[in-house]
Amino acid sequence: MKPFVEELNHLGTHGMQYVNVDNDVVTCKVYSVCCSSDSCARPLLRETMQFNGRYGCDWCLTEAESIKHGDGISHIYVPSHDELKLRDNGSFVNDALHASLDNPINGVKGVSPLLFLPLFAIVLGFVPDYLHCVLLGIVRTFASLWFHKSNHAKPWYIGQPGYLLLVDNFLLCDLLVIFHVCLEAYLNVNFGRARSGNLSCCIIHYWYFMVNFLRST
């Protein structure tokens, strides 16, 4: 990361020059303000604990609880009614300056080179990544709850053939698409391997109408 940070420091201070359409020489400064990476890469970039460690959340100071899971122990984040204590840049930098690999503070293990990026906010500059958190997280969870046969006895299950027909008819009115095409990935035995491409179609094209459908039924 060091060459990247050095280059960005140079571009943020001196900028780069180009000739625009009016033949003027323009100096343009470049900053990196947002970083999207998956949850395993994020702690490496920030010098922090991974999501499954103590204080492993990148945005708040929830400690996580250890529970027995199978033969081992899992760290989980239990929903709480207490207000979450959010991380902020100032305290993150302070933790980084006083922490070490053997003695992490609030999940921060040391000084990340990204702390030296101009204008980059080490806490809110990182965002939950779209592929894992949105598509393979939220969308797959909802698709499973609504359509996967393992939920067939649940009141929110709408994967019965009769309901699927209703879903199709409902969507045909608004979108002229047959939802079955998209649903195929969910209804087969490989549900857990539904591709993010299918899930992306779901959230972009169908979810809004699905929520209306659920309300209407």
Residues making contact with Zn ion (CB under 5 A):
57, 59-60, 62
Judged by beta carbon, residue 86 or residue 181, the one nearer Zn ion is 86
State the amino acid at position 203 in one-letter form.
I
In the complex, minimum distance from the CB of residue 42 to Zn ion, in angstroms, rounded to a whole number: 13
Judged by beta carbon, residue 49 or residue 202, the one nearer Zn ion is 49
In the complex, minimum distance from the CB of residue 33 to Zn ion, in angstroms, rounded to a whole number: 21
In the complex, minimum distance from the CB of residue 61 to Zn ion, in angstroms, rounded to a whole number: 8
Judged by beta carbon, residue 64 or residue 114, the one nearer Zn ion is 64
Q: Which residues of 176-195 are buried (b: 16+ CB within 10 A; e: fewer)?
A: eeebeebbebbeeeebeebe
Judged by beta carbon, residue 63 or residue 168, the one nearer Zn ion is 63
In the complex, minimum distance from the CB of residue 77 to Zn ion, in angstroms, rounded to a whole number: 7
Judged by beta carbon, residue 60 or residue 133, the one nearer Zn ion is 60
Which residue from 1, 37, 4, 56 is spatially nearest to 127, judged by alpha carbons? 37
In the complex, minimum distance from the CB of residue 57 to Zn ion, in angstroms, rounded to a whole number: 3
State the amino acid at position 45 in one-letter form.
L
